[in-house]
Amino acid sequence: MAATIALVLMSAGWAMLVSGLSLIPIRRFADRLGLLDRPGGHSSHQSPTPLGGGLGIFAGILATALIGSLGAWALSDPSTAETSRELLLRWLPDWPSVETYWRAAVTHAPGVYSRLDDLWWLMAGAGVLVTLGLIDDRFGLPVTLRLGVQFAIAAATVWGLNIELTAFIEVPWLTRTLSVIWIVAVINSFNMLDNMDALSGGVAAIIAASMAAVMLTIPDPGTSRPQLFVATMLLVTAGALLGFLFHNRPPARIFMGDGGSYLVGYLISIGMLMATYAGTGDGWRPHAVLAPLCAMAVPLYDMTSVLWIRYREGRSLFQGDHSHLSHRLVDLGLSRPGAVATVHLITATCGLAALLLTHVSMLQAFTVLGIVACMLALVAILESASRRRSRR
């Protein structure tokens, strides 16, 4: 198992390396491509900053998917698997664990190979969303067109790949409709959260890593093994985000842009739908299906609260502003880096709660969910106090 986890972490590390390196030329040529975010409007930065961080994130994920696919194809065939072993022993003769890692890769290669069709259809959907976001960053698109494409990709994924939530609801059309809404909601929650340096990317990396930990600790009922395919997809996404965050840390030298937020929202939401939570037999925990909501508590809280504020004040629901959670924390007196760090800490707490939720009894689950609810309620109370003080 240790060798398997090491291979998964190597995949994430490769995604981080490719993402970080690919963003160097993207930063350089972003201006020529028209991918430049200029100060003004609801933007709070002081100088023109390249967009297109989503291209680097996608490059890291795509490169890792390609290598993983080739490896799964080669190791699934006994003859090519043995050839790969001989090459590894020739190239890495002094690496004592090479045989152990090779055996782990051969063990899981057939399972990965059987999922390659799903993987590359997901990459195709992700590519469409990245392209949509880049066009929006470059030219600006009507909100109806953006949402229309998002709903279309979400519906194609749910109905085409049979990826959907169940939540013990025996009504297929309802669960599929809810799955489509979930995908679009997660995509836009990350998009709306992308308003300060390292904020959305950091939150997405924390959520992806925490849900990957859930997948590694909950066995698939069909195989009794950890859910490695979904866990690897989420950790590779987290790794690509870490490569991006090297460039996005304050002061940001490139922004994620709509292409990046659409991409990570899509992959994280799909990963959550593909996973199994409740378990079987003595380990059956139906409350574990709430783990994705728990992990996503901060982005969903930010999105719903911002939409409510805009509706209450009679403003457009789709016009960017400074009413986000991070901005409200700054109004409480925090610095911008302090506000980002606070959001990251709250997200990490929710991620740990999601992990705990999948391993406790029903009564203990109510306690975990209560802690998350109380934490968000405390934030809401502090924010309301700040708003009342500012109106005086």
CB 198 within 8 A of CB 340: yes
Q: Can you give the pLDDT of all 392 residues of the chain as single tens digits?
A: 778 888 899 999 999 999 999 999 999 988 888 888 776 555 556 678 898 999 999 999 999 999 999 888 888 877 777 777 666 666 665 656 766 776 777 777 888 888 999 999 999 999 999 999 999 999 999 999 999 999 999 999 999 999 988 777 788 889 999 999 999 999 999 999 999 999 999 999 999 999 999 999 888 777 777 889 999 999 999 999 999 999 999 999 999 999 999 999 999 999 999 988 876 666 678 888 999 999 999 999 999 999 998 998 888 888 888 889 998 899 888 999 999 999 999 999 999 999 999 988 888 999 999 999 999 998 888 877 666 655 55
User: Residues 127, 58: contact at Cβ < 8 Å?
Assistant: yes
Residue 279 has a pLDDT of: 67
**Domain boundaries defined on the chain:** 2-285
Q: Are 233 and 8 in contact (CB under 8 A)?
A: no
Query: In angstroms, how far is CA 172 from the centroid of its own chain?
Result: 26
Q: Which residue has the tokens 């009794």?
A: 224
C-alpha torsion angle, residues 202, 204, 209, 215 (rounded to 10): 170
Task: Tell whether omega for the bond before 251 is within 30 degrees of 0, i.e. cis.
Answer: yes
- Cα–Cα distance list, 299 to 4, 24, 28, 92, 189 (Å): 31, 28, 31, 44, 5
Separation in Å, CA 186 to CA 31, 58, 95, 180, 295: 29, 18, 42, 10, 11
3-state secondary structure at position 167:
coil
Neighbouring residues of 340: CB distance < 8 A, sequence distance ≥ 6? 196, 197, 198, 199, 202, 250, 326
- Spatial separation of the C-alpha atoms in residues 116 and 73, rounded to whole Å: 9
